[in-house]
């Protein structure tokens, strides 16, 4: 017994020592022992753990090498949505941001300036100082659980150092692949006859999603942390909380600074714009955040972005190359997009072969012609775009580009409606790319989320006449899929299981999946909660629809047009017959109309419910949420630590104030 206790104590001591040495090497970049000494201690710990499995710990330093276990990823819902940041590309746009913040907050705040890493966003959850989960951004609400892979990244602490951290918190950051690792991996891939990665971000993304953690460990990934969220944070300052996180063992960028004026922000941007090439990893801009958490709460969020943070993108790299030809792609809505085929050219670390031409107006504006030498830019868009032509290199007999008049896929005459930038193919019923595009949209993660199916598989099933519209997904048989090239019995069963599970998807996502023009995620949710079911929605006219909050004439007309089509009605009837959800649950639909016509603004912190829960109560009782005080505001629901700017505006506009309890009495 004494011997076992001694072994246990030795294991604990080795784990503590190795964790400290690991932190000094990978986070502080100041190793205190040699690699040889570190490896010997690690081998000793591995031997002791192997001989004494009763002392096993999933967060031991020995687990960083990864295992050979191959498994698919489970999906996990973020406690706090992982929103993206709004982008700016000029100092003028940034000045507008500063003005909006000052106006909304009623003061001039401090800003935290950080580098914008070009990697893969990750959310790490810690409970009682131990890593319990690592989840990718995914769609912002749901991501992939990649905990086993993340454990192999040496700069991410498995167990925290020091004290003072909350019992539960999430910390967000970016997983990056240093240039040295990127070059070594590409060298190995070329030697093995594989395609090299286009850039370090793609390499990092591919590595995080590998199914074998032992292979991930070989990729030498790194991770910088930049935001922390929890219920009981130590400070109201973002900067101070990140400095605390540094003491707990996280790799917080040394470049992070706090600026008390826009001029100091611009100095930070100018410095890193000139010196970004000196870094051992890729950055593509700077991120600015309001430092004070209470001011952050005051400013709030839009549907997609926080109002208290923004990214400034460095000016896009530009390259010149030859335009070889133009393809015309057909989207799921029938929209035609011209795409340029280029002589391959290196741009911002990526080999570019294609670039968007957007529409006929853009081609005419730049007078873009085949065989021109064009300027290609890669800014905020994933697909590079052509921004100009070097006419000095143009041949004298070069013909102008005539935009196509018929669909390149089905031959139907194209139309262009008033006010529309794009041409459209009106053949929604039999134009192949539109059919495949609608099916791909239907199965996507934010819609029906059907596992086992991707764009290539959908295209194959369509070409084999197994699916000709979305209803055919529910007629598929495993034996018909299994015989197709590249699939097999296991893939076929996974597809069928995914199709069956999709019958549990809630109405609001089914409505979004139908692909009604202008009905995106937010609009679908609003319709589902306001109307309640598909049968009522089908019978509504434009006047009835525009009475629903945020539904305008354009959206209403599109919904009426959709259900005026016999084909669409038959399709919906089939889906109803297959058992899909076309009715909101009792929890989703509005409970009452008691708050109808009232607009609420929520500020401060609350004891009984979170701000999001209160917002949901307002919507479910017919009310409307707003982020800013105006003459249209009916009530301010005020918790603790209300910002002074909002209170000043409330008094000025004579807006009524409710406490949390008073609001609950109002809806009870």
Q: Give the Å distances, CA to CA, from 108 to 100, 262, 387.
A: 11, 10, 37
> Residue 456: how many CB atoms within 10 A of its CB?
10
Residue tagged 């040889």 (tokens): 36
Phi, psi of 470 (to 5 degrees): -65, -25
What's the Rg (C-alpha) of the chain?
Answer: 28
* DSSP, res 159: B
Give the residue from 100, 22, 13, 82 showing the smallest Cα distance to 48. Answer: 13
Question: 3-state SS of the chain: helix, strand, coil percent to 5?
Answer: 40, 20, 40
Strands (E), 478-615: 599-603
d(CA 576, CA 89): 47
d(CA 394, CA 497): 56
Reduced to 3 states (helix: H, G, I; strand: E, B; else coil), residue 288 is strand
- Is the dihedral angle over the CA atoms 519, 524, 527, 531 positive or is it negative? positive
d(CA 52, CA 121): 37
Q: Give the Å distances, CA to CA, from 297 to 242, 279, 294, 663.
A: 18, 34, 5, 19
Cα 203 off chain centre by: 18
Angle made by CA atoms 353, 355, 357, in degrees to the nearest 5? 150
* DSSP, res 628: S
Tokens representing 327 are 């393809």
Reduced to 3 states (helix: H, G, I; strand: E, B; else coil), residue 145 is strand
Among 116, 289, 646, 649, the one annotated catalytic:
116
Q: Give the Å distances, CA to CA, from 526 to 532, 578, 605.
A: 10, 25, 26
Catalytic, 116? Answer yes
Pairing of the two strands 317-330 and 168-176: unpaired
Question: Residues in the chain, how many?
Answer: 668
Angle made by CA atoms 628, 633, 639, in degrees to the nearest 5? 65
Tokens representing 512 are 């979004």
Tokens representing 484 are 């197709």
**Which distant-in-sequence residues (6+ apart) come within 8 Å of 161 by Cβ?**
19, 20, 23, 247, 248, 249
Tokens representing 277 are 């090439």
Tokens representing 509 are 């996502």
Reduced to 3 states (helix: H, G, I; strand: E, B; else coil), residue 237 is strand
**Which distant-in-sequence residues (6+ apart) come within 8 Å of 625 by Cβ?**
599, 600, 601, 602, 615, 618, 619
**Which distant-in-sequence residues (6+ apart) come within 8 Å of 649 by Cβ?**
106, 629, 655
The region, left, alpha or beta by phi > 0 then psi within -120 to 50, assigned to residue 176 is: beta
CB 319 within 8 Å of CB 376:
yes
d(CA 198, CA 189): 12
- Is the dihedral angle over the CA atoms 632, 587, 448, 207 positive or is it negative? positive
Alpha-carbon dihedral angle through residues 652, 658, 663, 665, given to the nearest 10 degrees: -130
Reduced to 3 states (helix: H, G, I; strand: E, B; else coil), residue 398 is coil
Query: Which residues are annotated as catalytic?
Result: 116
């Amino acid at each position: 017994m004494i011997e076992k206790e001694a072994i246990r104590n030795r294991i604990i001591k080795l784990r503590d020592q190795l964790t400290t040495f690991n932190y000094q090497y990978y986070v502080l970049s100041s190793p205190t022992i040699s690699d040889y000494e570190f490896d010997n201690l690690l081998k000793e710990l591995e031997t002791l753990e192997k001989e004494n499995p009763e002392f096993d710990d999933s967060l031991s330093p020995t687990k960083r090498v990864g295992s050979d276990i191959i498994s698919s990823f489970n999906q996990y819902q973020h406690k706090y949505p992982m929103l993206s940041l709004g982008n700016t590309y000029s100092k003028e746009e940034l000045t507008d941001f500063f003005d909006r913040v000052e106006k909304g907050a009623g003061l001039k705040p401090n800003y935290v300036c950080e580098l914008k890493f070009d990697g893969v966003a990750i959310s790490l959850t810690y409970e009682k100082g131990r890593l319990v989960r690592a989840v990718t951004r995914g769609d912002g609400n749901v991501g992939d659980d990649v905990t086993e892979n993340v454990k192999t990244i040496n700069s991410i602490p498995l167990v925290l150092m020091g004290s003072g951290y909350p019992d539960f918190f999430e910390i967000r950051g970016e997983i990056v692949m240093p240039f040295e690792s990127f070059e070594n991996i590409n060298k190995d891939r070329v030697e093995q006859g594989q395609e090299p990665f286009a850039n370090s971000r793609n390499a990092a993304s591919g590595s995080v999603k590998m199914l074998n953690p032992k292979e991930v460990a070989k990729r030498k990934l790194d991770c910088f942390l930049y935001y922390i969220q929890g219920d009981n944070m130590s400070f109201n300052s973002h900067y101070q909380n990140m400095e605390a996180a540094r003491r707990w063992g996280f790799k917080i960028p040394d470049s992070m600074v706090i600026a008390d004026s826009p001029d100091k922000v611009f100095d930070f941007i100018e410095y890193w714009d000139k010196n970004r090439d000196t870094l051992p990893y890729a950055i593509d801009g700077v991120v600015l955040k309001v430092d004070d958490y209470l001011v952050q709460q005051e400013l709030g969020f839009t549907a997609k972005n926080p109002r208290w943070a923004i990214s400034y993108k460095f000016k896009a790299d530009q390259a010149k190359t030859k335009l070889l030809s133009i393809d015309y792609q057909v989207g799921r809505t029938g929209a035609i997009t011209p795409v340029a085929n280029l002589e391959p050219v290196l741009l911002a670390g990526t080999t570019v072969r294609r670039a968007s031409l957007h529409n006929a107006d853009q081609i005419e504006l730049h007078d873009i012609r085949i065989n021109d030498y064009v300027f290609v830019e890669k800014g905020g868009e994933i697909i590079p775009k052509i921004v100009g032509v070097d006419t000095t290199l143009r041949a004298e007999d070069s013909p102008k580009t005539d935009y196509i008049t018929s669909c390149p896929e089905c031959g139907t005459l194209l139309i262009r409606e008033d006010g529309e930038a794009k041409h459209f193919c009106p053949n929604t019923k039999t134009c192949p790319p539109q059919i495949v595009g609608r099916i791909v949209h239907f199965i996507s993660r934010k819609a029906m989320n059907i596992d086992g199916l991707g764009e290539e598989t959908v295209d194959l099933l369509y070409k084999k006449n197994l699916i000709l519209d979305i209803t055919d997904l529910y007629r598929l048989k495993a034996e018909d899929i299994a015989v197709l090239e590249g699939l097999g019995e296991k893939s076929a069963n996974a597809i069928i299981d995914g199709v069956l599970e999709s019958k549990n998807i809630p109405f609001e996502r089914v409505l979004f999946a139908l692909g009604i023009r202008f009905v995106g995620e937010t609009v679908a949710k609003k319709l589902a909660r306001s109307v309640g079911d598909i049968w009522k929605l089908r019978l509504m006219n434009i006047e009835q629809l525009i009475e629903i909050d945020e539904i305008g004439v354009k959206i209403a007309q599109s919904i009426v047009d959709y259900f005026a089509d016999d084909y669409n009605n038959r399709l919906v009837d089939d889906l109803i017959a297959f058992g899909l959800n076309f009715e909101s649950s009792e929890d989703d639909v509005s409970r009452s109309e008691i708050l109808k016509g009232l607009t609420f603004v929520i500020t401060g912190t609350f004891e009984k419910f979170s701000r999001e829960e209160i917002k949901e109560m307002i919507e479910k009782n017919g009310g409307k949420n707003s982020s800013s005080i105006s003459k249209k505001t009916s009530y301010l629901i005020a918790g603790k630590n209300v910002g002074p700017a909002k209170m000043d505006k409330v008094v000025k506009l004579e807006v009524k104030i409710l406490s949390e309890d008073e609001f609950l009495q109002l809806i009870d």
